[in-house]
Amino acid sequence: MEQFQHYIDGAFSDGEGRFPSIDPATGAPWAEMPEAREADVDRAVEAAHKALYEGAWAKTTATQRGKLLYRLADLVAANAQKLAELETRDTGKIIRETSAQIAYVADYYRYYAGIADKIEGSYLPIDKPDMDVWLRREPVGVVAMVVPWNSQLFLSAVKIGPALAAGCTMVVKASEDGPAPLLEFARLIDEAGFPAGVVNILTGFGSSCGAALARHPKVAHIAFTGGPETARHIVRNSAENLASTSLELGGKSPFIVYADADLESAANAQVAGIFAATGQSCVAGSRLLVERSIKDQFVGLLKAKAEAIRIGGPLDMATEVGPLATSRQRDHVTALVERSVAAGARLVTGGKALSGDGFYYLPTIIDCDGVASPSLAEEFFGPVLSVVSFEDEAEAVRIANDTPFGLASGVFTQNLTRAHRMIKSIRAGVVWVNTYRAVSPIAPFGGYGLSGHGREGGMAAALDFTRTKTVWLRTS
């Protein structure tokens, strides 16, 4: 079995424990991971703290930070194939998707390389002739980063990139489900030449490793991506160190299709919007809101496309939908579909796990019109689309906003003024019009409500990893 190690204080080391990592395509263990507990977490945070305030990082200029980030971006691009394969092997996310996403990861590091020397302070025109007053922007401190299993390289890049640009040091906790790609990425941090302790990468379980990290007294900020329940634990733990938090949480995103939309293009976007990453995507367009007059036609189109999807081994380039990441996830999806059908929802297609090896679940569509289906309220994190129809714009907006989440949304219509009204009315951090799942390092991303707070991407994300120091200097 392949063996992985932690990266702490510039060196590779074993954890206090070890645990097996399961290949989702077979259900069998394929690698052994190090498990960090309290002592490893403490060592990593101490290393990050020392690097920030006493080590070489304290003397590294913004320009030098930018150059290190450019080198890291180049290394990510040069090692893309290996990283993508590891992510596929350890999480079951298909190779087509991990290969495409790793290119974005390099782009994010490159973008924040360019930001590093553009974080400026400011001069304040105080009403005193004998005083110069200005703001310095300083790194917020040691940052704890906690990420979920899906897209670990991407979800860590949107944190590590801006935090490094801002001059922070960090401890990154990879998910216990599929940590291989992030632990391998640590080799690139090492090769790029970041001083020891600047980026520490470990893995372990949430209630031990994650909790110890969130409450550590030397952690100043926690950047978290995961579920709302875990976010509550983290915020409770941050009552110890009073660290600030940014939270990227779940979603129940509405995908709204009007009768005047280009239905073929909307159907392709909906199929990718829900079945990509086997539905394990925070922005999954998991609630289809379709105008009643075209419901049968549009759902028919989706059914045909869903049934034509090639399901298979995640390392096969031809595969379009792979397994779920864990047996726990497959069982969760199975139970939620069963509860929804018991509540009256009607299966259009799919609705069951595949027998045999691996954690496969069929691409599924359920018609929830007129039913208080749990599938409309709870995040599945699986390949399941719930359909409801609406009569008019007011009803579409009401259903779209009938959720405590507010991460993403999609609107498909050819009517420009209606699109503008929808953009204003939908309570979500992202509105995609006649497109879905588009991302860029330049465009901020984040949620409303239970989908969290804070934004990743853009200049603002780098500023979020800084705090200001006000300087008063008497000049005479």
CB of 458 to ligand NAD, least distance (A): 14
Does 233 help bind ligand NAD (rule: CB under 6 A)? yes
Q: What sections of 139-179 are H helices per DSSP?
A: 152-165
Q: Compare residues 15 and 167 and give the one whose CB is closer to ligand NAD.
A: 15
Does 206 help bind ligand NAD (rule: CB under 6 A)? yes
Binding mask 210-229 for ligand NAD (x = CB under 6 A): xx--x----------xxx--
CA distance 185 to 153: 8
* Binding segment toward ligand NAD, per CB under 6 A, in 60-68, 135-143, 243-251, 462-470: 243-251
Q: Compare residues 107 and 291 and give the one whose CB is closer to ligand NAD.
A: 107
Q: Compare residues 282 and 337 and give the one whose CB is closer to ligand NAD.
A: 282
Q: Which of 237, 287, 265 is nearest to 400 (CA)?
A: 287
Q: Compare residues 57 and 405 and give the one whose CB is closer to ligand NAD.
A: 405
Residue 264 to residues 278, 279, 295, 324, 453: CA-CA distances in angstroms? Answer: 21, 21, 13, 27, 34
CB of 147 to ligand NAD, least distance (A): 6
CA distance 335 to 352: 10
Does 195 help bind ligand NAD (rule: CB under 6 A)? no
Other CB atoms within a 10 A radius of the CB of residue 100 amount to 12
CA distance 243 to 235: 9
Q: Compare residues 290 and 426 and give the one whose CB is closer to ligand NAD.
A: 426
Residue linked to tokens 């860590």:
156
The torsion angle over the Cα atoms of residues 157, 22, 360 and 404, rounded to 10 degrees, is: -50
* Residues 244-303 contacting ligand NAD, CB under 6 A: 248-251, 282
* Beta strands across the sheet bearing 364-367: 346-349, 364-367, 384-390, 287-291, 254-257, 410-412, 432-433
Does 409 help bind ligand NAD (rule: CB under 6 A)? no
Q: Can 248 be counted among the known catalytic residues?
A: yes
Q: Compare residues 147 and 371 and give the one whose CB is closer to ligand NAD.
A: 147
Other CB atoms within a 10 A radius of the CB of residue 24 amount to 31
Please give, one letter per residue, the 3-state secondary structure of 211-235.
HHHHCCCCCCEEEEECCHHHHHHHH
Applying CB under 6 A, which of residues 40, 87, 176, 464 lies at the interface with ligand NAD? Answer: 176
CA distance 427 to 254: 10
| Pair type for strands 11-13 and 142-146 | unpaired
Does 340 help bind ligand NAD (rule: CB under 6 A)? no
Q: Residue 308 is which amino acid? A: A
* Residues 368-387 contacting ligand NAD, CB under 6 A: 379, 381
Q: Compare residues 66 and 285 and give the one whose CB is closer to ligand NAD.
A: 285
Contact by Cβ (8 Å): 450, 228: yes
Does 150 help bind ligand NAD (rule: CB under 6 A)? yes
CB of 40 to ligand NAD, least distance (A): 14
CB of 420 to ligand NAD, least distance (A): 26
Binding mask 427-466 for ligand NAD (x = CB under 6 A): --------------------x-------------------
CA atoms within 13 A on the CB side of 289: 25
| Candidate list 97, 248, 291, 320, residue with the active-site label | 248
CB of 150 to ligand NAD, least distance (A): 5
Binding mask 7-36 for ligand NAD (x = CB under 6 A): ------------------------------
CB of 304 to ligand NAD, least distance (A): 28
204: left (phi over 0), alpha (psi -120 to 50) or beta: left
Binding site for ligand NAD (CB under 6 A): 146-150, 155, 173, 175-176, 206-207, 210-211, 214, 225-227, 230, 233-234, 248-251, 282, 379, 381, 407, 447
The residues annotated as belonging to the active site are 248
